[in-house]
């Protein structure tokens, strides 16, 4: 089976496109052509009036603008997942009693497509994101989605929507898959109906004013997640729980909140929607282990793999806020940074904890954060070799009709 546009073969486009690239040598030594691009599932692709030059606002913000199309896929307990479709971006019609709106049975994920120097797109470690949404779904008692179909939906969607990629440095298409419970039922139990959808948002550089450090408020009174809870899942409740304290932190001039463990309020968990690392003596990088309460970050995992190859010692080790504070003050900790898809690497310039402030690297971006950012983004954007096999090349499509004509 293959994806169809008005009954024509969409998969043929990808095969042909891969062949053209292979013949012309456009896929260079850095590229790893993906076998997953060979479509196997019947994704129905509805034609929309082609938007050949979308107007992309100059001030993009993060996740505020969305492309013309979206993917949808519905589940019922009787029939399983049905009717995977890419069609126009549209409002959702939900029963006001839809279970996701009441007991929060809902998960999401976030990944990005990057423009390669040859004009095609790179997805980064997409297998990890796809596996993670299913792990999140399992934790929330929801049915898994087919990983190949989900990957194919992402590839097809970004291929069709590539014109929405902002034509500025460090731009990307942010991809947001969601699975939500749609059965109208107020009883607290697993829903019998779900909607799986994927939307795409053009985003600019996370640091529009340069790669500048953030200030971080260390939360003592509010916690994010507890071991055995839902901290390892990307489920909206975790993020809702962070909003009040994040707003309070913002009022104190801090852009992010650093979460301590929920039991002892001593161990460092993560920072906002990022994992965190501390640099000792410019050479050694320490990050808290995956305790059961923090998200298995794809960026964290990539830095764990990449940093030793760049000559850094990398350790997963529990760290208390008291030790970290001491080591900042005695100069052993030279830098700190967050790790996540949105920012990739976010240098931390200051920590604020119980009315005290500690400055890192004189409040400036440090060399380790910069190096890791440069190395990782070079792989993501296809500017450097990818010895890890992390990137999937997605050829861009002209429009649905021309896909079918090829
Ligand atoms: C709570 C939390 N921690 C860490 C991360 C970083 O994960 P990743 O690197 O996969 O974006 C995210 C972002 O998804 C997050 O929401």
User: What CATH number corresponds to the domain at position 318?
Assistant: 3.20.10.10
CA of 296 to the centre of ligand 1 (A): 7
Higher pLDDT, 73 or 21: 73
The helix or strand, by DSSP H or E, that contains position 43, with its residue range, turns out to be: none
Sign of the alpha-carbon torsion through 248, 253, 255, 256: negative
If asked whether residues 267 and 396 sit together in one domain, one would say: no
If asked whether residues 33 and 175 sit together in one domain, one would say: yes
If asked whether residues 256 and 189 sit together in one domain, one would say: no
Cβ of 158 closer than 6 Å to ligand 1, yes or no, is no
If asked whether residues 201 and 295 sit together in one domain, one would say: no
Residue 372 resides in a domain: no
Residue 114 resides in a domain: yes
pLDDT band at 50 (very low <50, low <70, confident <90, very high): low
Nearest CA to ligand 1 atom 13: 273
Whether 98 has a pLDDT exceeding 50, the answer reads: yes
For residue 37, the model assigns a pLDDT of 35
Higher pLDDT, 57 or 221: 221
Average pLDDT over residues 66-88: 97
The residue out of 331, 347, 364 marking a domain boundary is: 364
pLDDT band at 161 (very low <50, low <70, confident <90, very high): very high
Identify the burial level of 101 via C-beta atoms within 10 angstroms of its C-beta, where 0-12 means exposed, 13-18 middle and 19 or more buried: middle
Encode pLDDT of 260-276 as tens digits: 999 999 999 999 999 99
For residue 331, the model assigns a pLDDT of 96
Residue 383 resides in a domain: no
If asked whether residues 107 and 245 sit together in one domain, one would say: no
What ligand 1 atom has the least distance to the C-alpha of 342?
11
CA of 251 to the centre of ligand 1 (A): 24
Cβ of 297 closer than 6 Å to ligand 1, yes or no, is yes
Closest among 240, 62, 45, 22 to 161, alpha carbons compared: 45
Nearest CA to ligand 1 atom 7: 297
pTM for this prediction? 0.89
Encode pLDDT of 291-341 as tens digits: 999 999 999 999 999 999 999 999 999 999 999 999 999 999 999 999 999
Whether 208 has a pLDDT exceeding 90, the answer reads: no
If asked whether residues 168 and 182 sit together in one domain, one would say: yes
Pocket perturbation via mutation, ligand 1, pick of 297, 302, 342 by most ligand atoms within 8 A of CB = 297
Whether 196 has a pLDDT exceeding 90, the answer reads: yes
CA of 273 to the centre of ligand 1 (A): 5
Cβ of 270 closer than 6 Å to ligand 1, yes or no, is yes
Any idea what the CATH number is for the domain that residue 122 is in?
3.30.470.10
If asked whether residues 20 and 35 sit together in one domain, one would say: yes
Whether 28 has a pLDDT exceeding 50, the answer reads: no
Residue 382 resides in a domain: no
- Mean pLDDT, the chain, as a whole number? 89
Residue 340 resides in a domain: yes
What ligand 1 atom has the least distance to the C-alpha of 275?
4
Q: Which residues pair with 219 in a beta bridge?
A: 259
Q: How many domains would you assign to the chain?
A: 2
If asked whether residues 17 and 38 sit together in one domain, one would say: yes
- Structural domain of 185: 4-208+389-405
Cβ of 338 closer than 6 Å to ligand 1, yes or no, is no
If asked whether residues 70 and 121 sit together in one domain, one would say: yes
Percent of the chain with pLDDT over 90: 80
Closest among 199, 177, 218, 244 to 67, alpha carbons compared: 199
Whether 216 has a pLDDT exceeding 90, the answer reads: yes
If asked whether residues 95 and 173 sit together in one domain, one would say: yes
CA of 295 to the centre of ligand 1 (A): 6
Cβ of 273 closer than 6 Å to ligand 1, yes or no, is yes
What ligand 1 atom has the least distance to the C-alpha of 301?
9
Cβ of 340 closer than 6 Å to ligand 1, yes or no, is yes
If asked whether residues 225 and 357 sit together in one domain, one would say: yes
Cβ of 272 closer than 6 Å to ligand 1, yes or no, is no
Nearest CA to ligand 1 atom 4: 274
Average pLDDT over residues 372-389: 97
Whether 198 has a pLDDT exceeding 60, the answer reads: yes
Cβ of 288 closer than 6 Å to ligand 1, yes or no, is no
Residue 373 resides in a domain: no
Structure-token pair, residue 125: 């470690």
Whether 5 has a pLDDT exceeding 90, the answer reads: no
Residue 384 resides in a domain: no
CA of 399 to the centre of ligand 1 (A): 32
pLDDT band at 209 (very low <50, low <70, confident <90, very high): confident
Contact 215, 349 (CB under 8 A): yes
pLDDT band at 402 (very low <50, low <70, confident <90, very high): low
If asked whether residues 155 and 18 sit together in one domain, one would say: yes
Residue 377 resides in a domain: no
């Amino acid at each position: 089976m293959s994806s169809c546009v008005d009954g024509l073969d969409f998969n043929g486009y990808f095969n042909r496109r891969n062949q053209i690239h292979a013949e012309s040598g456009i896929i260079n030594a850095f590229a790893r052509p993906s076998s997953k691009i060979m479509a196997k599932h019947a994704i129905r692709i509805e034609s929309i009036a082609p938007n050949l030059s979308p107007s992309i606002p100059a001030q993009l913000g993060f996740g505020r603008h969305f492309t013309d199309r979206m993917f949808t896929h519905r589940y019922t307990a009787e029939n399983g997942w049905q009717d995977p479709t890419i069609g126009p971006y549209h409002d959702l019609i939900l029963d006001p009693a839809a279970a996701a709106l009441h007991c929060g049975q809902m998960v999401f994920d976030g990944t990005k497509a990057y423009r390669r120097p040859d004009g095609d797109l790179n997805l980064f470690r997409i297998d990890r994101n796809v596996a993670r949404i299913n792990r999140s779904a399992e934790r929330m008692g929801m049915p898994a989605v087919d990983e190949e179909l989900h990957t194919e939906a992402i590839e097809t969607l970004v291929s069709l929507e590539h014109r929405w990629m902002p034509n500025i440095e460090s731009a990307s298409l942010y991809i947001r898959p969601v699975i939500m419970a749609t059965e109208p039922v107020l009883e607290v139990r697993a829903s019998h109906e779900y909607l799986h959808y994927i939307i795409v948002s053009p985003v600019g550089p996370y640091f529009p004013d340069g790669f500048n450090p953030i200030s971080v408020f260390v939360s003592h009174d509010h916690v994010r997640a507890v071991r055995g809870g839902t901290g390892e899942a990307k489920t909206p409740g975790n993020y809702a729980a962070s909003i009040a304290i994040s707003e309070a932190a913002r009022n104190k001039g801090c852009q992010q909140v650093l979460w301590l463990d929920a039991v002892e309020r001593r161990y460092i968990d993560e920072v906002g929607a990022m994992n965190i690392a501390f640099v000792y003596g410019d050479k050694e990088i320490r990050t808290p282990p995956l305790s059961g309460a923090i998200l298995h970050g794809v960026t964290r995992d990539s830095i764990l793999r990449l940093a030793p190859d760049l000559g850094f010692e990398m350790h997963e080790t529990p760290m208390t806020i008291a030790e970290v504070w001491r080591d900042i003050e005695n100069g052993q900790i030279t830098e700190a940074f967050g790790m996540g898809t949105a920012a990739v690497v976010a240098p931390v310039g200051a920590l604020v904890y119980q009315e005290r402030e500690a400055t890192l690297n004189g409040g400036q971006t440090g060399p380790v954060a910069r190096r890791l950012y440069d190395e990782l983004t070079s792989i993501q954007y296809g500017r450097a070799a990818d010895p890890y096999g992390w990137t999937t090349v997605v050829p861009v499509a002209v429009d649905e009709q021309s896909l079918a004509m090829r």
